[in-house]
Structure 1
Amino acid sequence: MTVENPRRALGVVFFIVFIDLLGFGILIPVIPLYALSFGATEFVGSLLIASYSAMQFLAAPFLGRISDARGRRPVLLLSLSGSVIAWLLFGVAGSLTVLFVARMLAGAMGGNIATAQAYIADITAAEDRAKGLGLLGAAFGLGFVFGPALGGFFASEPVIAAARSVLPAFVPVSEFSLPSFAAALITGCNLVVAFFVLPESRPPEVRDRSPDPRYSRESRVELLLSALRTRGLGTLVVSFFLVSFAFSALESQFIFLTNDQYSYGATENALILTYVGIVLAVVQGGLVGPLTNRFGEYRLVVGGAAIQVVTLAVVPFSPVLGRLVPEVGRLLPVGPTLVPGVLALLAVMTPLSFGNALTNVSLNTLVSRSAGDEEQGGAFGLTQSAGSLARTFGPALAGGLYTAIGFWAPFVVGGALMIPILVLLGRLDRKTVTATTA
C-alpha cells in the first residue's frame, strides 16, 4: 500500500461508486418507458436494458488490465467522463438507435467497477479486504436505494413544469430527458471530486511490471476461458456467474410478478425495492466485516448460496404463504395496502437479500485472495465480466420461462442454479484461495 491515508482513500472510492450508481439508478424506472416512447416493443426494451451488461462484459477486463498497467485513477476518471457523455446523449436521444448507442457507452464505462474493486484491494490489508469490499457493496446498495427515487422525482409533473419554466427552449424537457440530465450532472460533479481528491493506489514501479494491455491478443472470452482453467479462480468465476445469472431472474421479473399477483405499479414496487436496497446496504456495509472475522469468507459464501436456494424459489409463492398472515390494512396513511401475500413476500425478500449480499462480497474477497498483487484489476475484471455476461443472458431466459411456463418458473430455476454453486465450492481446495478462512 502506498496511499498515505488508506481510510480517507477508501471513503473517497465509496463516495465515487455511490454517486456513480446513484446516477445509474436514476434511470432504472425511466429506461423501459423511454424505449416504448420510440415505438419499441417490450422485447426490444429488454434488449436495451441488456445492452448495458453486454458492453460491461466486454469492457470490464480491459479496463481492469489498463488499471494494472496505467493506474487506477486514470481509468476511474476516464469512465466517469464517458458516463457524463452517455447520460447527456441519453437525454437528447431523438431515436431508438441513439438510445442504444448511449446505453452501450454507459455500459462500457460501467466496467470501472472492477477498477474500484482493485483499488480497494490495493489500499487494504488482506485481513481487512472483506470489510473494504463490503463498503463498496454498500455503495451499490445505497445507489440503488436513492437512485430510482430520484428518477421518479425528476420524472414527476411538478419538477418537469418547473424545469420548463427556467430552462431555455432548445433544451428538451420531458419525463425521460430530465432524469437523464440529472444523472449527467450528478456524475459530472462526481468527476470533479474524483479529479481533485482521489490519489493513485499503484506506484509507478508496480505499474511498470504489469503487461501492456494494448499488446494482448486475447479476447474477453479467451481471458474468461483461461481463468476457468486456473485452479481455484475458475471455480470462483463460475460461481460468480451462476449467482449473477440466478439473481437476474429476480431482478428482471420481479415487477412482472408483483404486477400480476398484486396489481402493483411503479410506486409500490419502488417501496419494496427500496426496502431490499436498505437490507443489502446494511449487510454489505455493516455486517459482512464482523461475520467474516467470525466465520471466514468461505463459510459465508456457502451459507449465502444455501439461503438463496430456498428463498429464490419461494418468492413467487408468497401469496400462498400470505394466507397464514392476518390482514393488516395499510402500513402508513399513504402507501400500498400490505395484503398478507405482500407481507410474506417481504418476509422472503429479507433473507434472500441477506444471502445475496453475503455471497457477492465473500466471492469477491476470495477472488482477490486468489490473484497476485499485480493481477487484482484483471481478476476483478474477469469476475465482473462473468456477472455482466450472466445479466445479459439471464433476463432473456427468465422472461422466456415466465411467458412460456409460468410466473413461478424463473424464480424456481434461479434457486436451482444455486445448488451447483454449493457443489463447486464443496470441491474447492480452500488453501488455493485463502490462508485465513476458518
Structure 2
Amino acid sequence: MSTSFKDRNALVFVLITVAINAVGFGIMIPVLPELIKSLTGLENNQVALHLGGMTFIFAVMQFISMPIVGGLSDAYGRRPVMLFSVGALAIDYFLMAIAPTVAILYLGRAISGAFGATFSTANAYIADVSPPELRAQNFGLVGAVFGAGFILGPVLGGWLGEFGPRVPFFAAGVICALNFVYGVLVLPETHKPEKRRAFNVRRSNAAGTLKSLSRISGVRGLLFVFFLLALAHTVYPSTYTLSTQEALGWTPKDVGNSLGAFGLASLFVQGYLIRIIIPKIGLFWSGLIGIGGAVLGYAILGNASQGWIVYAAGPFAALAGLYGPSLTNMMSIRVNDTEQGELQGAIGAAQGLAMMIGPLLLTWVFYVFADPETAPIYMPGAPFLVAAALAFLAFIAMMVVTTKEDRSARLSDVKTAEVDGASPQASPAET
C-alpha cells in the first residue's frame, strides 16, 4: 500500500468518524428528554434538571479528556487511540439504549464525554497526512463534515424517535460499530515511532489550559465577550427540546426538523455568507451583527407561541455564526505568533467553562418557570430570555472593550485574519 493511499484512507476515516460523532450527539437531542421521562415519570421542568446534570458531566469529561486523548495519541500512535474511542462510543450508545435507570444515562453521558473527545486525535491525523499547503483545506473539511453531521443528527433522531426513544440510540450504536469495523480494516498508523513522545500527565491536563486565561495580554475583554456568548449558546443543547415541547406540544420529530432547518441556515452563513460579509465590513462590525442576531434569535425563541415563530428565529440564529470567527480573529491579531497556541487554549477553556456552567443555570431556570402550578410566571421560553440577556451583555461588553481602530479596521488591514481557519460559532444544531 503506497503512502498516499494510506494517507487517503486515514483522511476518509477521520472525516467519517467526525461526522458520526456529530450525528451521534445530535441524534440524542430530540429524544433524550423522552427517554428520561420514560424512566422517571417526571414532568418537563423536572426532566430539565437531569438534562442539565448530564450535559454538565459530558462537558467536564470532554474538558478533562481532550488533552489526555491528544497526549496518548502522541505517545502510542493515532490508530489505537482512535479505534478505542470509536469502539467505546458504540458500546456507550448500546448501553444508553438499554438503560434500565436514569443513573445509567448519567454513566453513558460520562463515557460519551470521555471517549467522544476524538477531535484532538482527528486533528493530529490531519496534521500527519496533510502537506502544509493542504492542511488548512483539510481542517476545513473536518469542520464541514462536523456541521453536516449535526444537521443530519437531530433530524434522524427525531424521525427514529417516532418508533420509540430508545431506537435512535440503537441506530447510533450500529453506526459506530460499523465505523469501528471499517477502521480496523483500513485505518493506517500515521504517527511514526521516531516522532512519538512519552505520555506526560502534567502536560495532559486541563489546568494548564485554564491558566492561559490569565496569562494572555490584550484579549481578556474579548475572551469575556466570547465566554458570555458561549454561556448563552448552551441554551440549545440543554433546554431547546423541552422548551418547544412544553410551549408548543412538539414531538421529537418536530424538534429534529427544526434543528435541521437551523443547521442548514447556519451552514449557508458559515459556508458562504461569512466570506462576503467579514471582508466587506470588517471583523468588529461582523461580530456585532452576529451578536445582535443572537440576541434577536434568543428573544424570538423565548416568546414563541407557535411553530412558525421558531422557524422565523432561524435566520437570526444563523447570523450568530458571524461572531465566532470575528472574535477569534480579533483576539488573534492582538497576540504575537508565539502566543497563538496559548490563545486557542484560552478560547477552548472559555468554551469548556461555559458548557459546565450554562446547562446547570439554564435548566434550573426552565425548572422554575415551566411548572404551570408553581412558577411565578409560567414561561417555558424563559431560558432563551436569559440567553438573550447574556448575549445583550456581550453586545455591551463588545462596545466597551474594543477600540476605534477595531471599528475602522477592514480584513485587509490585519496581519492574520484567516476567516476560513477560525473556529466558527456552532449552530443551534451543533451543540
The CA deviation at 1:187 is: 0.5
Match of 2:292 among 302, 310, 330: 310
Q: What residue number does 2:25 align with?
A: 24
The reply to whether residue 395 of structure 1 matches residue 377 of structure 2 is no
Q: Choose the corresponding residue for 1:99, options 99, 105, 112.
A: 105
Per-residue deviation, 1:98:
2.0
Q: Secondary structure at the match of 1:111?
A: coil
Cα distance, 1:365–1:70 mapped onto 2, change above 3 Å? farther
Secondary structure in 1 matching 2:29 = coil
For residue 219 of structure 1, report the CA deviation from its aligned partner: 4.5
1:349 is aligned, of 306, 311, 314, to: 314
8 Å CA contact retained: 2:286, 2:326: no
| Aligned ranges 1:32-431 → 2 under 5 Å | 32-39=33-40, 41-42=46-47, 43-124=49-130, 131-157=137-163, 175-208=164-197, 212-216=198-202, 219-226=205-212, 228-230=214-216, 241-259=227-245, 262-284=248-270, 286-287=271-272, 295=279, 299=282, 302=284, 305-318=287-300, 343=308, 345-356=310-321, 359=324, 363=328, 383-384=347-348, 386-401=350-365, 403=368, 407=382, 409-419=385-395, 420=397
Larger CA deviation: 313-322 vs 384-393:
313-322
Between the aligned partners of 1:236 and 1:72, the Cα distance in structure 2 is 34
1:2-55 deviations in Å (ceiling 9; x for gaps): 973667654432222112222232222222222222226321243123322221
User: How far 1:273 moved relative to its partner?
Assistant: 0.9
Cα distance, 1:437 vs structure 2: 4.8
CA distance in 1, matches of 2:330, 2:194: 25
Measured against aligned partners, the alpha-carbon deviations of 1:289-344 in whole angstroms (never above 9, x if no partner) come to: 9569x839x955x555323321222225438999xxxxxxxxxxxxxxxx9x7555
CA deviation after TM superposition for structure 1 residue 156, in Å: 3.1
Q: Which runs of 5+ in 1 are unaligned?
A: 158-174, 323-338
CA distance in 2, matches of 1:191, 1:371: 41
Deviation at 1:78, TM superposition (A): 2.0
- 1:182-225, CA deviations, whole angstroms, 9 ceiling, x for partnerless residues? 211101111222333344454444333xxx34341775234322
Counterpart of 2:4 in structure 1 is: 4
Alignment-mate amino acid for residue 48 of structure 1: M
Compared CA separation, residues 79 and 203, structure 1 to 2 (3 A): same
Q: How far apart, CA to CA, are the structure 2 residues paired with 1:32 and 1:290?
A: 37
More off after superposition, 312-321 vs 71-80: 312-321
CA distance in 1, matches of 2:238, 2:351: 14
Contact 2:158 2:256 in 1 (8 A): no
Q: CA deviation at 1:370?
A: 8.1
Matches of 2:86 and 2:298, distance apart in 1: 38
Cα deviation per residue 1:117-149 (whole Å; 9 max; x = unaligned)? 344345556676554333322222222222233
CA distance in 1, matches of 2:274, 2:138: 8
In 2 relative to 1, CA 241–206 (structure 1 residues): closer, same or farther, beyond 3 Å?
Answer: farther
Contact 1:241-1:386 within 8 A present in 2 as well? yes
1:12/1:242 Cα in 2 relative to 1: closer, same or farther (>3 Å)? farther
RMSD of aligned C-alpha atoms? Answer: 4.5
- Contact map agreement 2:269 2:321 (CA 8 A) in 1: no
> 1:193 & 1:364 partners in 2: Cα distance?
38
Amino acid across the alignment from 1:94: P
Worse-matched range after superposition: 268-277 or 245-254: 245-254
In the aligned structure 2, how far is the partner of 1:248 from the partner of 1:120? 28
Which whole-Å CA distance do the structure 1 matches of 2:257 and 2:93 have between them?
25
CA distance in 1, matches of 2:365, 2:137: 37
Instruction: Look up the equivalent residue of 1:35 and give its one-letter code.
Output: I
Percent identity, aligned pairs only, is: 28
**Which consecutive residues of structure 2, in runs of 5 or more, have no partner in the other structure?**
370-376, 420-431
Residue 100 to residue 53, structure 1, CA distance change in 2 (3 Å): same
TM-score, normalised via structure 1 length? 0.72
Distance 1:423 1:357 in 2: 19
What's 1:336 paired with? none
Code of the aligned partner of 2:78: R
Question: 1:13 matched to which residue of 2?
Answer: 14
Moved more, 416-425 or 384-393: 416-425
Distance 1:269 1:312, change over 3 A: same
Secondary structure at the counterpart of residue 233 of structure 2:
helix
Task: Give the Cα separation in 2 of the matches to 1:89 and 1:135.
Answer: 31
Q: Distance in 1 between matches of 2:213 and 2:24?
A: 32
- State how far apart, in whole Å, the 2-side matches of 1:234 and 1:278 are: 33
User: Distance in 2 between the 1:425 and 1:125 partners?
Assistant: 37
SS in 2 for 1:155: helix
CA offset digits 1:226-268 (Å, max 9, x no partner): 3541457978876654442221124433345545654444333
Cα contact 1:276–1:353 (8 A) shared by 2: yes
Instruction: Read off the aligned partner of 1:287 and give its amino acid letter.
Output: Y
Q: Give, in whole Å, the separation in 1 of the partners of 2:83 and 2:327.
A: 27
Residue pair 1:250, 1:312 contacting (<8 A) in 2 also: no
Q: 1:72, 1:178 → 2: CA distance? A: 32
Preserved contact between residue 280 and residue 354 of structure 1 (Cα < 8 Å):
yes
Q: What one-letter code is carried by the residue in structure 2 that aligns with 1:197?
A: V
Instruction: Please state whether the residue corresponding to 1:216 is helix, strand or coil.
Output: helix
